Amino acid sequence: MKRRVAILISGRGSNMAALIDAAKAPDFPAEIVAVISNRADAGGLEKAAASGIPTVVIESKPFGKDRAAFEAVLQRVLDEKGAELICLGGFMRLFTAEFVQRWYGRMLNIHPSLLPSFPGLDPHGQALRAGVKLSGATVHFVIPETDAGPIVMQGAVTVADDDTPDTLAARVITIEHRIYPEALRLLASGRLKLEGDLCKALGRAVSGGTLVAPTLK
C-alpha cells in the first residue's frame, strides 16, 4: 500500500515537481495526493495540475500571525485528502510547535545547505562568505526550530572560487532534486528509524567514498 503524501508549496515548486515525477514510478512507495499552497499565485500549482495532482489554496495572508487558525484549516484539508506524510517544498510559513509535534516523524523539509551549517535565509550567500569548499542540500525531519531536526539525507557539490549565490544555487538544486525523492522513498517504505535527535536508514549501504575539494593531485 502506497503512503499518501501532501506537498506544501509557496512558489515555483521545483522540488515538488521532482517528487511528483519520482512518484510516477510503479515501484515508488508513495503517491502524491495533494499539492497545497498558501499563495494563489504559486507557480507550482499549475505544474501540479498539469500532472493531474489535486491542488488546494489556503491563503495565509488573511490569517495574519494567527498560525493556529491557519493550521486548523490546513489540517482539515490534510484529513480530507487522507494524507499520511507531508513534504515541504519551499513552503514559506512557520508552524506552531503543536502542529509540528502532531506530524513529527512524518513531515520532511529540504534546505539548500549542509545543515547544521547555514540555516535560514540566503544559505548560498552564507556559504560563500564562509569560504567553504563543499556545499549542498539536506533533507530533514521538521521540528519547531527552523532548518533543524534529524537529518535524513544529504548531497554535496563543490564550490568554485568564482561562484555567486545564483551559480551555486543552480548546482545545489540538481542535488536537491536527487535526494528529496530518495529520502521520501526511505520514509514511505519504513526504512527510517528515529533515535532521539538522530535518523538512521535501515538496510542502507554507505559507499565509504570520499569527496575532496579542491581536487588533490
Q: All 3 cell numbers of residue 102? A: 502532531
Task: Please give the positions annotated as active site.
Answer: 111
CA distances from 150 to 68, 100, 211 (A): 24, 13, 23
Q: All 3 cell numbers of residue 175? A: 542535488
CA distances from 174 to 101, 137, 155, 170 (A): 31, 10, 10, 7
Can you tell me which residue has the cell 493550521? 71
Cα torsion 78, 63, 56, 143: sign: negative
